[in-house]
Structure 1
Amino acid sequence: MTDLTRLIHPRSIALVGASDRLHSIGERTLSNLLDHSEFDGEIFLVNPTKTEIRGQKCWPSVAALPVTPDIAVIVVPVAGVLAVAEECAGRGVPFAVVLTSGFGEAGEEGEQAQVRLKAIADAGGMRIYGPNCPGLTNVNHRLGLTFSPSFPHDLIKGPIGLATQGGGLGRNVMQAMDRGIGIGLWASTGNEVDLQVADFIHYMADAPDIKVIVTLLEGIKDGAKFVAAIQRAAANGKPVIAFKVGKSEYGQRAAQSHTASLTGSAEVNSAVFRQFGVIEVDDIDELVDTAWLFARAMPGPEDGIGIYTSSGGTAALTADAVGTRGLRLATFAPETRALLKELLPDYAAIDNPVDTTAVVLSDAQLIEKTLGAVASDPNLGCVIVPITLDYGETTIQMARTIIAAQKNCTTPIVPIWMSDRMGEGYRMLVEHGFAPPRSVGKGLSAVRRWVAYGRWKRSQSGVSAVTLTSVLPPASATRSVSELEGKRQLREAGIAVLPNALARSQEEAVAKAAAMGFPVVAKIASGQIVHKSDIGGVQVGLKTAEQVAAAWVDIMASAAHHRPDATIDGLLIEKMAPQGGVELMIGVTRDPVFGHVMTFGMGGIYVEILRDVTRRMLPIGAEDAAAMVREMRCFPLLDGARGRPRADLQALKALLLKVSAFVVANADRIEEMDLNPVWLGAEGEGALPLDAVIIERAEQKASA
């Protein structure tokens, strides 16, 4: 990854296109630099039509500057950007921040200009930030390389780093500062002709002033770079919280027209996030609430939830929100219950959730002691304090109590401001860094993400670097490997398959079936027929020579009827799988961003109906294989629920790992692979692919 230190912390800046024309981009950027930043380095103004602006000398060109700046901020009209970029590259400027629009987002001509801009930068060893971006905002060091008039208003320092592609949504997150949230660095990368969101995630993973990384993504151009960045963050113990737009067909079209990025499959993106511990959220509110909860405290070994309120209805509402999100109400320690029983009225609820009743709202010390006791309970991960209404002085006193209680414990107290009336109590909580969520649902959604990350973190025995499998352009042509050949390849890779043989005549089919022992399965063998069952090309449970002979006639007739164009090699005769077991599937596809991705789940006829599947980017490790198995909704059936025999989970995990290794070893040629069904027996019986479809790149085969 590129060292971005001189971009984030420059010693000198050239503003190319500096202007004194009110409200122009050049004037706004200059105003942010001179009036609202606290930059102690050199600022050079470049404008060939001016000798000075606001009392500062103007230089006619970058070439004329007395020193080479660390950054050139380019705000000239689009027609002049390439010439300025050539000048900067020729001068040896390390970084160019191009705020100007009219490139890849503006049609074919703009795309051509963008390609030329990248070529100029590459030739001169210069890195490009943008174009078509609002700039770079380093709040913690108060430096605004931006034309945004909002920069002077969004200057609350803090531990959150924000990396976005779109400027509007990024600014929306920045304005969460009005809730007291501190965002130390905002990079909005625009068209990403060169530097991408991933570069800034990687930088923030190492930045000492950034504790939590937030990213808004419309698309991911370089999967390998992105994965390296999120792995770096995970290795350094920094959570990455991601909001990926473009999940629907409508959203994908909008994202592509905006940034011209690959949006990718929503399922694949989510799988990669899950694999590397990225916390995916569903909207901006959840993004902000979750990020700030992490900024306040990292999840510890306990993840039980405590609820503290003075309203019975609110207690029930919040408890429901805990349960419906798969969270767990903590059981209070005996000493906590004893203290609550001693201090609260007899009619108060002292078990979790705590309902103090409204009577105690007049006694601030009593609230502080009881809330403090709950927040200090060793079985809790966090405490939820829903505040239903703004009740004047009473609510102000509640806010004071929450602030005082938090000072005496490390467990985060999460006050939830449920009222639309924003009073002094709310402002006090904001000033003291609580940034209260605005509803129980939103607050508990953030807590759910927080808890899930803690569980993921505890499940990791160590962080090992994963390198993507081959990311290649779409294949111009593919070919389907015969099932016989595919299973031979699997067998050579150490993957067990049932005995099988190709029969080219009816007599040969009967002989081969008798040799391997009944019962057997007969399948049409043709490179042009992938979905054999759909055309009546499979018969199972054949127990006699007569049944095999009859199967030959029936299958051949069916194939001739449905696919008269197909070349038929014969019948594949295969030993029948043992009775019982579960049918699963393992599939692999090549994603254009992340390379090969494995899909695993219920197989046979259920895969399309139930869609009980989970995904991982390849290669996977043992922890990934175990997680994929556990994530299936049907996992309890495999684990021996309701008296069922426990499935051979060890053999299943081993099979997932072997398939991953096989694909990685053949990454350049394998486009797709479908093992469906995979037979999984009881403990000790193993896991066997019963069908195997391998689709490979035809051009790769031709060159082999």
Structure 2
Amino acid sequence: MIEFPDLSRLVRPESVALIGASDTPGSIGKLTVDNLVEASEFRGRVHLVNPRRREIGGRVCHPDVAALPEAPDVAVVCIPAAGVLDALRQCAAKGVRFAIVLTSGFSETGEAGRALQEEMRGIARTSGMRIYGPNCPGLTNLADRIGMTFSPAFADDRTSGPLGIATQGGGLGRNILQSGVRGSGAALWASLGNAVDLDVADFVHHMAADPAIRVIVTLFEGIRDGARLLAALRAAAEAGKPVVTLKVGHSAYGERAVQSHTAAMAGSAAVNSAVLAQLGVVEVRDTDELVDVAWLLARATPPARTRVALFGASGGALSLAADLVGSADLEPAELADDTRASLRADLPAFAAVDNPVDTTATTISEPGLFDRALRTVAGDPGVDLVLMPIPLDYAERSATSSRAIAAAQEQTDVPIVPVWMSDRRGPGWQVLADASFCSPRSLTKAVLAVRRWAEYGRWRAAAEAHPPAVPLLLRADEPGTVAALPAVDTEPRAKAWLSAAGVPVPDGEVVQSAPAARAAAERLGCPVVVKIVSSELPHKSDVGGVAVDVGSGAAAEDAWRQVTEHVALKAPHAATGGVLVERMVPADGVEMIVGVHRDPVFGHLLTVGAGGVLVELLDDVQRRLLPVGRPQAEEMVAALRCHALLTGARGRPACDVDGFVDLLVAVSDLVVAHAHQIEEIDLNPVRVRPADGDEARVVVLDALVTVASDGPRDC
């Protein structure tokens, strides 16, 4: 069971000490004092610590932490790195609950800095005092106007709102926070820096229970503790709070930049994305998208089905919007007859009253028409969202329209999404921002945000219908309670284990001589496949250890000699255990790959995709954390681009998709039973054959199972 700290006294402290408080203009210590004492609305007790000052700004300065009149809830540390560890030890001895270390000079600087940071981690572990940072801009609570930060921008970033922001970086986090000027707004921003102790996951968990926060925004540069993150994201999902994240490090260049910035491991982008999507996290690729999506999710909870209505006064902008909506596979709303009749009654005869609804420029001179028409469209029972392109700024006339948009939104739960496309930000833009419309900057960005909103609605509905299982990494099973794993070091042994669990494999025999190969082939029925057996040769074909389509007993004898000679020549030091003679499965159907691997951050994942020679060529795979049940397995297969091949595209016979799904569930169950021992399973190819055949319709043609080299271990 993963436990999270109670951060309420960190976020809303009653007393704060500033270690390194200063009155030197421009210094970190003075900026921090000014933010907490002058720019904040903090009503608690503030204690200043500086051995070289008696007072700062009329407030008493204490020489050290030990001299403080109380143990404060939070100590903000902004002294040079050389003195930080001693200050933290003093804080721990005093009984301080939380320390925010603003100072840089730790793991981001190299080996010496990493050693200092390890000492800092030890202080947190042995004392129980929780440490935030180091190398961070601090903690910003906008809901209560408390700034425990040195940032000179704090005094100007006053827009509070429903977002909770947890980041590792400071610059991008402030960029997200400053989107408040266009109408978003945040209740809390935690920028963790090097995250020696407290991490993003701790704040996601806190935000899941914070009533001031409706949507959680995260920005990751690296993920160290997958179990804590999974537990925090599950808490957010159970609280009904969407999580929108930007994960830096999708390219090799990006990964190198992340490591040079924070010394954090970026992790596998493909695995990260798969895990986040499985938990309902909306992953985005830049900060504009992050803000647009988070704002839209905070404005309204998306339904399982999203029907979009387009509304505006520019036919060209509406046509462009319609094209983008169609390209994004969003569903256009079908307006009701009553809606169209009301629009015809209000608007000029030349206005368009189907979706898109074009009020034409007439509404410039008659703004009341615009107001009534918008309310009519937003009130249609078949409309889930209204997208409004605003291509130009008409000064006060645009402000009138913006006020109508704000008034209409107050009377409906259907989100209205105005898109301010003009580079001129006149009074109309400001009206929308003041009314908390975080207007996207372009139609492309707006449609992408709506698409993400709709995708989250579908995930939410699917999760309610089939609640996802607890990820294997979070299960509390002890190694001693799992089933014993038989020897699986060779293909025949791995297949025997799979077959005993109900996974279909071809009939086969292991033989030790050419005559035995002939006899086995004749018993099994030709054609057969002949393969060398060796735990040291996972890729047998690379050394000539495989012969296929062997059509007779005599040919099987020759194949036995052929594969053994090739292996002896190309891999003379490999230990072999005979030859596997296996009945050859007809080459109809589709070859797939099924794999399991233990990710170092998130634990076991199941991978399914196009297999055989197509696996590298197509890169068509889906991944899920284990365990997966039948609904999740069906979803994985349906999401593959090669799904059409399985279901009978272009006159091909439909394959046994149900049987293939059964295989995925069986593999998941096997790994759950042996999670502490299984490192990897590679079933490639798996032949998925036509569903109307008489023989086995799903067969594992090759199997490789790797166990943990150091024995059973945690998932």
Residue 55 in 1 paired to residue 58 in 2? yes
Residue in 2 that maps onto 1:476: none
Determine which of 604, 617, 622 is the counterpart of 2:612: 604
Q: Distance in 1 between the 2:242 and 2:6 partners?
A: 21
Determine which of 86, 89, 94 is the counterpart of 1:91: 94
Query: What are the equivalent positions in structure 2 for 1:286-685 lying under 5 Å apart?
Result: 286-460=289-463, 461=465, 462=467, 464-468=469-473, 481-578=489-586, 580-683=588-691, 685=696
Q: Unpaired segments of 5 or more residues in structure 2?
A: 477-486
Q: Any conservation in 2 of the 1:469–1:596 contact (CA below 8 Å)?
A: no
1:484-518 CA distance string (max 9 Å, x none) = 11112222333232222211111111112222333
Q: Distance in 2 between the 1:43 and 1:605 partners?
A: 67
1:78-136 CA distance string (max 9 Å, x none) = 11001111111112211111111101111111110000111122111111100111000
Paired residue type of 2:699: L
Q: Any conservation in 2 of the 1:234–1:463 contact (CA below 8 Å)?
A: no
Paired residue type of 2:528: V
Q: Any conservation in 1 of the 2:593–2:610 contact (CA below 8 Å)?
A: yes
**Residue aligned with 1:700, SS:** coil
- How many residue pairs were aligned? 695
Paired residue type of 1:672: E
Deviation at 1:624, TM superposition (A): 2.3
Paired residue type of 1:292: W
Q: Distance in 1 between the 2:547 and 2:350 partners?
A: 70
- Shift in alpha-carbon separation, 1:658–1:469, aligned structure 2, 3 A: farther
Determine which of 685, 707, 710 is the counterpart of 1:696: 707
Q: Distance in 1 between the 2:584 and 2:461 partners?
A: 42
- Shift in alpha-carbon separation, 1:609–1:301, aligned structure 2, 3 A: closer
Identity of aligned residues (%): 50
Determine which of 214, 221, 224 is the counterpart of 2:217: 214
Residue in 2 that maps onto 1:475: none
Q: Comparing 503-512 with 210-219, which one deviates more in the overlay? A: 503-512
Paired residue type of 2:661: K
Q: Any conservation in 2 of the 1:48–1:59 contact (CA below 8 Å)?
A: yes
Residue in 1 that maps onto 2:136: 133
1:257-303 CA distance string (max 9 Å, x none) = 22222210000000001110000001000001111111111112440
Paired residue type of 2:671: V
- Shift in alpha-carbon separation, 1:435–1:701, aligned structure 2, 3 A: closer
Deviation at 1:660, TM superposition (A): 1.9
Q: Comparing 109-118 with 537-546, which one deviates more in the overlay? A: 537-546
Q: Any conservation in 1 of the 2:488–2:497 contact (CA below 8 Å)?
A: no
Q: Distance in 2 between the 1:653 and 1:469 partners?
A: 24
Runs ≥4 residues deviating over 4 A: none
Paired residue type of 1:423: G
Q: Distance in 2 between the 1:459 and 1:641 partners?
A: 27
Deviation at 1:655, TM superposition (A): 1.5
Q: Distance in 1 between the 2:404 and 2:475 partners?
A: 57
Residue in 1 that maps onto 2:28: 25
Residue in 2 that maps onto 1:687: 698
Q: Any conservation in 2 of the 1:390–1:422 contact (CA below 8 Å)?
A: yes
Q: Any conservation in 2 of the 1:255–1:261 contact (CA below 8 Å)?
A: yes
Residue in 2 that maps onto 1:280: 283
Deviation at 1:628, TM superposition (A): 0.9
Residue in 1 that maps onto 2:480: none
Paired residue type of 1:533: S
Q: Comparing 599-608 with 373-382, which one deviates more in the overlay? A: 373-382
Q: Any conservation in 2 of the 1:217–1:243 contact (CA below 8 Å)?
A: yes
Residue 269 in 1 paired to residue 280 in 2? no
Paired residue type of 2:252: E
Q: Comparing 500-509 with 240-249, which one deviates more in the overlay? A: 500-509
Q: Comparing 353-362 with 630-639, which one deviates more in the overlay? A: 353-362
Residue in 2 that maps onto 1:119: 122
**Residue aligned with 1:597, SS:** strand
Q: Any conservation in 2 of the 1:224–1:467 contact (CA below 8 Å)?
A: no
- Shift in alpha-carbon separation, 1:503–1:416, aligned structure 2, 3 A: same
Paired residue type of 1:167: G
**Residue aligned with 1:533, SS:** helix
**Residue aligned with 2:332, SS:** coil
Q: Any conservation in 2 of the 1:469–1:664 contact (CA below 8 Å)?
A: no
Q: Any conservation in 2 of the 1:469–1:618 contact (CA below 8 Å)?
A: no
**TM-score relative to the length of structure 1:** 0.95
Residue in 1 that maps onto 2:482: none
Residue 242 in 1 paired to residue 245 in 2? yes
Q: Any conservation in 2 of the 1:470–1:667 contact (CA below 8 Å)?
A: no
Q: Distance in 2 between the 1:31 and 1:558 partners?
A: 78
Paired residue type of 1:408: Q
Q: Distance in 1 between the 2:238 and 2:655 partners?
A: 34
**Residue aligned with 2:473, SS:** coil
Residue in 1 that maps onto 2:261: 258
Residue in 2 that maps onto 1:474: none
**Residue aligned with 1:497, SS:** coil
Q: Distance in 1 between the 2:568 and 2:356 partners?
A: 69
Residue in 1 that maps onto 2:43: 40
Deviation at 1:256, TM superposition (A): 1.3
Q: Comparing 371-380 with 417-426, which one deviates more in the overlay? A: 371-380
Q: Distance in 2 between the 1:187 and 1:253 partners?
A: 24
Paired residue type of 1:700: G
Deviation at 1:416, TM superposition (A): 0.4
Paired residue type of 2:306: D
1:378-424 CA distance string (max 9 Å, x none) = 12221111011112333223222222222222111111011111111
Pairwise CA RMSD: 2.0
Residue in 2 that maps onto 1:14: 17
Deviation at 1:532, TM superposition (A): 2.6
Q: Comparing 481-490 with 543-552, which one deviates more in the overlay? A: 543-552
Residue in 1 that maps onto 2:163: 160
Residue in 2 that maps onto 1:232: 235
Q: Any conservation in 1 of the 2:23–2:29 contact (CA below 8 Å)?
A: yes
Q: Distance in 2 between the 1:326 and 1:174 partners?
A: 31
Residue 109 in 1 paired to residue 134 in 2? no
Q: Distance in 2 between the 1:263 and 1:275 partners?
A: 19
Deviation at 1:577, TM superposition (A): 2.2
Q: Distance in 1 between the 2:182 and 2:420 partners?
A: 12
**Residue aligned with 1:100, SS:** coil
Q: Distance in 1 between the 2:556 and 2:157 partners?
A: 77
Q: Comparing 59-68 with 573-582, which one deviates more in the overlay? A: 573-582
Q: Distance in 2 between the 1:434 and 1:54 partners?
A: 40
- Shift in alpha-carbon separation, 1:63–1:493, aligned structure 2, 3 A: farther
Q: Distance in 2 between the 1:663 and 1:230 partners?
A: 23
Residue 75 in 1 paired to residue 78 in 2? yes
Q: Distance in 1 between the 2:582 and 2:712 partners?
A: 27
Determine which of 5, 25, 30 is the counterpart of 2:8: 5
Q: Comparing 352-361 with 26-35, which one deviates more in the overlay? A: 352-361
Deviation at 1:464, TM superposition (A): 4.3
Q: Comparing 121-130 with 535-544, which one deviates more in the overlay? A: 535-544
Q: Any conservation in 2 of the 1:507–1:549 contact (CA below 8 Å)?
A: yes
**Residue aligned with 1:501, SS:** strand
Q: Comparing 86-95 with 480-489, which one deviates more in the overlay? A: 480-489
